[in-house]
Chains A and B, each alone.
Chain A
Amino acid sequence: MLTLENVAQAYGRKQVLQNVSFELAAGEIGCLLGPSGCGKTTALRLVAGFESLQSGRILLDGGQVAGPDQALPPERRRLGLVFQDYALFPHLSVTGNIGFGLGSLPRREREARVDEMLRLVGLSQEARQYPHQLSGGQQQRVALARALAPRPRLLLLDEPFSNLDVELREKLSIEVRDILKHEGITALLVTHDQHEAFAMADQVGVMHAGVIQQWGTPYDLYHRPRNRFVAGFIGQGVLLPGVVRSAHQVQVELGMLQGVDAAECDGGSCLTFGIGTEVEVLIRPDDILHDDDSPLQAEVERRAFRGAEFLYTLRLPSGARVLTQVSSHHDHAIGEKIGIRLDVGHVVAFRRPPPDAPRGRA
């Protein structure tokens, strides 16, 4: 459906995108996730056609829409766009906004389509209102309806929820996903918020420094990060020093980790590290359980109350720190020693960087 092949882009001497390739199947929702300045918005604008592509190819439905020396102008790509600021036309009513891109349809069909879209996003009551009379969430849905009305081949969403408050953001991202799935729309989303990405997307590409670091399902990104950046950017966790003891075992301060999956080591195999190699193992908060009976003791260094649970930062005897998530019934003071136990389902390890390189918490 949507294919990017070796897309690269530079502005002046700054390389904004390098070797970006991915594919979205029809009906799939993809997401480019990354910190600001990682190049994700540029990638989206290249697909939309607002930037001219310097190298690589972009294909839609198997047809090329942009190559190094030819490009289809944005208005002919038949894409829907939802902008970060919604970009609603303030002088047009909700109906006028949604019907804006339907100019080529006969009047009756146009009205029918607008009605259909109004029902889809649940704004039939607000049809005659103007954008400034609507709440943020409603404006968002008008923007979505306007983009979907002309039946685009692909929907592009640029940080669509970033202007909403946190609760609405979650509710609306689920709602939007339902609408897109219901309509069978292929969509590409760009965001810096991993909760949004996980709630919306089937496939997520984590971007950093103009490169897609990893492309996969949200589950894979969390549990099988391919490199340090992904490990650190997705979810919480720390990197704990360890030593490879065998092809399937890594020794860390907290014990021996079993069942090392060769495929999960730095994108390759722990075997290539060789026995005795110093590595760093990713430990998520859910890999460490609080257990009063455990002989392993760690000191509470910091605590963050989150309602249902505490996130404790624990100091190990060696001085290394780990995070653990504990039910909020277990209220421990700072400085207190508590028992912990490892419960690592699979091991993600990276070669330890040379001593002068930055290290520590992922």
Chain B
Amino acid sequence: MPWPLIAAAPPRGGSRLSAALAPWLAVLPIALISVIPVLVVVSSLVNPDRETWDHLWQYELPEVLGNSFWLVLGVGLGVTVLGVSLAWLTATCHFPGRAFFNWALLLPLALPAYVTAFVWLGLLDFSGPLATWLRETHGILRLPPIRSRGGVILVMSLAFYPYVYLTARVAFQGQGRRLMEAAQSLGLSRQAAFWRVALPMARPGIVAGLMLALMETLADFGTVAVFNYNTFTTSIYKAWFSLFSLPAASQLASLLIFFVLIVALLEYQSRARRSYAVSTRAASTPGRIRLRGWRAALALAWCGVVFTLAFALPAGQILAWAAGVWAADFDARYLQFAWHSLLLSGLGALLVGGLAMTLAYAQRLHPTPAMRVTARLSTLGYALPGAVLAVGFFIPVAWLDNLLIDHLGFAGQTLGGTLVVMLLAYCTRFLAVSFGPVESGLTRVSRSVDEAAQSLGVVGARRLWRIHLPMLRVSMLSAAALTFVDLMKELPITLMTRPFGWDTLAVRVFEMTSEGEWERAALPAAAIALVGLLPVVFLMRNTEHAHT
């Protein structure tokens, strides 16, 4: 077959430069979006307003710092104890009910913490069903006060332990039984082997889960607001919406960022180390320690109690309340709330998914250290509390608004009154949620697949269309689903930056709970929890498959 002598190929210089530039043009704006709120908020530290600062130090910060400290300490301890013990039982032991609890213990992820919180408040309230029942049948008048530091810590531990449970379980499963057997053959008792082998090996995984839980704790707004437990996020909210002091809100946010970044750094480090632990998985054998008699009963009871308190009881109570108020409360407004929730979550998930895909693909085409750093930077937003992002985006957008009004003659709020701030904040906060599955999906596509397509004459956009998108379908779907559900549950960003009239289900829950109307908060909460079940089912299937 004749083949023309190769004409001089196009000089590499020009085409190479533009090929190298294109991904950066796509990636840099994404990185910029993530960095802006941090810069805005931190810059308020550089140029502090003395008066606000003094006021904060005198009246606000002592309480906020103390509360946050005890909260982080308490929740950290709580999620570690719950998560590690449950993970150990379901991953390495065999007892009646294990198969059920193995996935059921993930279910609390479906309930936003602020929902668990208001259910517990409602249950233990003086007029609540549990308190009433105890009073009338047993004559118990005083319950331990749920509206207390201990109460917040308990509820948050119940809501956030699945993060540790998940990572610890993966770590324990990855070890397999062989290492424990090796330790026992060297003369250690089973207990000693747990403390000296299994636990230290699982530590990176446990720490990673713990740090995620602590990030959620610091970022939480709904729970602490329901409990009237003043932390940074509620304080930011109050400064902005009660005192109308954006500088104060911004300065509080900058302090919060400082703490959050410490946690994020620890999480990042533990994640880097975790990969070593998992690599031994190939050598592991399945097989569980069979528990008998009182040990089995104890394991069953422990799993049962946690499951009941963290999921069964709150979920059941929500359904009961929702059923009670359904007839009286359900009306066209609810369809509107649901529609707003679906629309905003769907819009956000699409947007976030698109950005994540762009980022991951650029990193694929240009696997340079600079690109990797930029991608990491862009996804750092998962560590930033929604309240911080709300402030961090509102300030520059308001500034831009003024610019437009002053110089271009626009009337009134142009951007501030739209969804822009909210969507920007969504993107930053949840980019990592989408980026994770897409990136790991892409890394599973071996480089030689790219090269195979290229050698067959298929490159560029055609390769993306014919190879990568079809191969990534599942990853992109799971990315979109996870983001969608997180957005459904999202509270502080939506609450603080929604344009007038854009109330969602989550906002409705917040408004009802802040008035103590537990029954009426249950209806939107039930809807959120129902949607929230989706990714949990996803997660359960994935983690089960990975090890069978």
Question: Residues of A with Cβ closer than 8 Å to B?
Answer: 48, 50, 52, 60-65, 69-81, 83-85, 87-91, 100-101, 103-104, 146-147, 150-151, 153
Q: Are B12 and A52 in contact (CB under 8 A)?
A: yes
Kindly state the separation between the CA atoms of A181 and B449 in the bound complex, as whole angstroms: 27
The 10 closest A-B pairs by CB, nearest first: A101-B456, A87-B448, A83-B448, A87-B452, A63-B6, A63-B5, A91-B470, A81-B455, A87-B449, A75-B457
Q: Are A64 and B6 in contact (CB under 8 A)?
A: yes
A63, A69, A72, A75: the one contacting B455 at CB < 8 Å is A75
Given A62-B5, A89-B467: 20 more A-B contacts, CB < 8 Å:
A48-B451, A61-B5, A64-B6, A65-B6, A69-B11, A70-B11, A71-B12, A74-B455, A75-B455, A76-B9, A81-B452, A87-B449, A87-B451, A87-B452, A89-B453, A91-B470, A100-B453, A101-B456, A146-B456, A147-B455
Within B462-477, which residues are at the interface with A (CB < 8 Å)? Answer: 466-467, 470-471, 473
B472: min CB distance to chain A, Å = 10
Which residue of the partner chain A has the closest CB to B15? A73
- Chain B residues near A70 (CB, 8 Å)? 8-9, 11-12
- Chain A residues near B466 (CB, 8 Å)? 100
- Chain B residues near A146 (CB, 8 Å)? 452, 456
- Chain A residues near B9 (CB, 8 Å)? 70-73, 76
Asked if A74 meets B446 with Cβ closer than 8 Å, knowing A64-B6, A151-B1, the reply is no
- Chain B residues near A153 (CB, 8 Å)? 1, 3
- Chain A residues near B8 (CB, 8 Å)? 70
- Chain A residues near B12 (CB, 8 Å)? 52, 69-71
Which secondary structure characterizes the binding site on chain A?
Answer: loop
Q: How many A-B residue pairs have CB under 8 A?
A: 85
A267: min CB distance to chain B, Å = 36
B3: min CB distance to chain A, Å = 6
B462: min CB distance to chain A, Å = 8
Which residue of the partner chain A has the closest CB to B470? A91
Q: Are A75 and B5 in contact (CB under 8 A)?
A: no
A89: min CB distance to chain B, Å = 6
Q: Are A83 and B470 in contact (CB under 8 A)?
A: no
Kindly state the separation between the CA atoms of A12 and B28 in the bound complex, as whole angstroms: 28
Q: Which of the listed residues A79, A91, A150, A151 has the most CB atoms from chain B within 10 Å of its own CB?
A: A91
A300: min CB distance to chain B, Å = 38
Q: Are A79 and B471 in contact (CB under 8 A)?
A: no
Say yes or no: is B454 at the interface (Cβ < 8 Å to chain A). Answer: yes
Kindly state the separation between the CA atoms of A50 and B455 in the bound complex, as whole angstroms: 9
A-B contact list, 26 entries, CB within 8 Å: A48-B451, A50-B451, A52-B12, A61-B3, A63-B3, A71-B9, A73-B9, A73-B459, A74-B451, A74-B455, A75-B458, A76-B9, A79-B455, A80-B455, A83-B452, A85-B446, A85-B448, A87-B446, A88-B452, A91-B471, A100-B466, A101-B456, A101-B457, A147-B455, A150-B456, A153-B3
Kindly state the separation between the CA atoms of A75 and B460 in the bound complex, as whole angstroms: 11
Within B1-40, which residues are at the interface with A (CB < 8 Å)? Answer: 1, 3-6, 8-9, 11-12
Which residue of the partner chain B has the closest CB to A90? B471
Within B339-389, which residues are at the interface with A (CB < 8 Å)? Answer: none
Q: Which of the listed residues A77, A81, A87, A100 has the most CB atoms from chain B within 10 Å of its own CB?
A: A87
- Chain B residues near A89 (CB, 8 Å)? 449, 452-453, 467, 471
- Chain A residues near B455 (CB, 8 Å)? 48, 74-75, 77, 79-81, 101, 147
Q: How many residues of B contact A (CB 8 A)?
A: 26
A21: min CB distance to chain B, Å = 20
B545: min CB distance to chain A, Å = 15
Kindly state the separation between the CA atoms of A278 and B385 in the bound complex, as whole angstroms: 79
Q: Are B457 and A103 in contact (CB under 8 A)?
A: yes
Within B149-173, which residues are at the interface with A (CB < 8 Å)? Answer: none
- Chain B residues near A103 (CB, 8 Å)? 457-458
Kindly state the separation between the CA atoms of A91 and B448 in the bound complex, as whole angstroms: 15
- Chain A residues near B451 (CB, 8 Å)? 48, 50, 74, 81, 83, 87
B173: min CB distance to chain A, Å = 24
Q: Which of the listed residues B1, B8, B457, B471 has the most CB atoms from chain A within 10 Å of its own CB?
A: B457
Q: Are A84 and B448 in contact (CB under 8 A)?
A: yes
Kindly state the separation between the CA atoms of A61 and B473 in the bound complex, as whole angstroms: 41
B8: min CB distance to chain A, Å = 6
Kindly state the separation between the CA atoms of A81 and B448 in the bound complex, as whole angstroms: 10
Kindly state the separation between the CA atoms of A226 and B453 in the bound complex, as whole angstroms: 40
- Chain B residues near A48 (CB, 8 Å)? 451, 455
Which residue of the partner chain B has the closest CB to A153? B3
Q: Are A100 and B456 in contact (CB under 8 A)?
A: yes
- Chain B residues near A151 (CB, 8 Å)? 1
- Chain B residues near A90 (CB, 8 Å)? 471
A195: min CB distance to chain B, Å = 24
B470-486 interface mask toward A, CB cutoff 8 Å, 1 = contact, 0 = none? 11010000000000000
Kindly state the separation between the CA atoms of A153 and B8 in the bound complex, as whole angstroms: 19
- Chain A residues near B3 (CB, 8 Å)? 61, 63, 78, 153
Q: Are B458 and A100 in contact (CB under 8 A)?
A: yes
- Chain A residues near B452 (CB, 8 Å)? 81, 83, 87-89, 146
A75, A80, A88, A104: the one contacting B454 at CB < 8 Å is A75
- Chain A residues near B446 (CB, 8 Å)? 85, 87
Kindly state the separation between the CA atoms of A134 and B473 in the bound complex, as whole angstroms: 22
Q: Which of the listed residues B6, B11, B458 has the most CB atoms from chain A within 10 Å of its own CB?
A: B6
B480: min CB distance to chain A, Å = 19
Kindly state the separation between the CA atoms of A261 and B457 in the bound complex, as whole angstroms: 51
Kindly state the separation between the CA atoms of A64 and B444 in the bound complex, as whole angstroms: 35
Q: Are B6 and A72 in contact (CB under 8 A)?
A: yes
